[in-house]
Amino acid sequence: MKSDGGPRNYRKDTLLAHLGRHPEAQHGAVNPPVYHASTILSSNMAEWEKKRDPKTRFDVVRYGLLGTPTTFALEEALAAIEGGHRAMLMSSGLAAITAPLQACLKCGDHLLMVDSAYGPARTFCERVLTRCGVATTYYDPLIGDGIARLMRPNTKVVYVESPGSLTFEVQDVPAIAAAAHEAGAKVLMDNTWASPYLFPSFARGVDVSIHAATKYVVGHSDVVLGAVITTEEMYLKVRTMVADLGHCAAPDDAYYALRGLRTLSVRLERHERNALTVARWLQTRPEVSRVLYPALPEDPGHALWKRDFLGATGLFGMVLKPAPKEAVYAMIDALDLFGIGSSWGGFESLILPTDPERLRTATRWNAEGPSLRLHIGLEDPQDLIADLERGFYQLQVAMAA
Ligand SMILES: Cc1ncc(COP(=O)(O)O)c(C=O)c1O
């Protein structure tokens, strides 16, 4: 897009291809170059002073920690895709969770945290926020507008993650946000599952959107990166805390994420299609008790997902019929295409056993048998199905032994 300031009303896929690129400023290069910079020189003291103007301190290139043209380019694109005001990058998705919580909470405040949150987010509440005098109450992910009953005069943040980590419950984010705002609290959302592309969080009432860009934004399992996107109202509060804590992202990582972002929508479309093919097949298997994937019409969260999301990604869960751990491990070990490893959102398929019950405190996770999390990659889904069929065969062999 030409930088002539002209009106731009492009659709999201067009923006994905063009945002954050300023070829005219880079000798015509299509992609912004990687700026490796800590010190940024000023040509005189007047310029030095100008760069320190508190009103524009986060808008100018003045020290590597506070951003370079490479990180600014990614931030510009991420904020526009999700419909937020501004974005900021951090070294990990976990840092993108903890820094906004620190920005919005102080000693004596109360936090409402969803019971199905990403495990390390809970650990942060328990190990760090308690030491800072912040009390956390965990709530049922399906609470909806019932959240109003849990609000206290000192509740400053309601934290949502939808679908929930490991168990994939869809939250009624607009209802929760309305109740939170009515009581004067802000809504922070871990929006990693949908990525900035598939859940327009700000249109649904969210104040601060959190992303492990490590997953679908980067999309190639080779970078750890976090991003926070905020409303205009929340921007300076969160950005200042991020700077005060010394968070930043490496320029090479921002570059890889920008590269990943260009193909985000085409990758997500294929992840969804493949995941639906595999999930539907899993529903027919006698070894499977439930598939936890809101894109399936039988999923209890399907109606809310359809109302609020623009699509699904490749990450879902399944609950097996009762089976001993050894048999489940034999099944996983028999797989050829599904990797065993943390994280998800790359081009490849992954599988892991999970233990959601261990993390819960406000609700019970009553699974009939062992739980697993699958990430469906960009392989041919028929090959993935054949692989899982091999796995189920080994499960049966191990059960019979
Ligand atoms: C939902 C969710 N949020 C946040 C994170 C943290 O991301 P990172 O690994 O980049 O710290 C993860 C990582 O698995 C995640 O699954």
User: What is each CA distance from 241 to 179, 253, 286, 391, in whole angstroms?
Assistant: 26, 22, 51, 47
Cα 177 to ligand 1 centre (Å): 23
pLDDT confidence of residue 6: 58
Cβ(93) to ligand 1 under 6 A? yes
Cβ(195) to ligand 1 under 6 A? no
- Outline where DSSP puts E strands in 79-230: 86-90, 110-114, 135-139, 155-161, 186-190, 208-212, 226-230
Cβ(343) to ligand 1 under 6 A? yes
CA distance 259 to 346: 13
pTM score of the predicted model: 0.97
Instruction: Give the residue whose CA is nearest to atom 9 of ligand 1.
Output: 93
pLDDT confidence of residue 9: 82
Cβ(224) to ligand 1 under 6 A? yes
pLDDT confidence of residue 2: 67
- DSSP for residue 63: B
Q: Tens of pLDDT along the chain (401 residues)?
A: 666 665 568 999 999 999 999 899 899 999 999 999 999 999 999 999 999 999 899 999 999 999 999 999 999 999 999 999 999 999 999 999 999 999 999 999 999 999 999 999 999 999 999 999 999 999 999 999 999 999 999 999 999 999 999 999 999 999 999 999 999 999 999 999 999 999 999 999 999 999 999 999 999 999 999 999 999 999 999 999 999 999 999 999 999 999 999 999 999 999 999 999 999 999 999 999 999 999 999 999 999 999 999 999 999 999 999 999 999 999 999 999 999 999 999 999 999 999 999 999 999 999 999 999 999 999 999 999 999 999 999 999 999 98
pLDDT confidence of residue 4: 61
Position 104: which residue type?
C
Cβ(354) to ligand 1 under 6 A? no
CB contact set of 139 (below 8 Å; sequence gap of 6+): 112, 113, 114, 115, 147, 150, 362
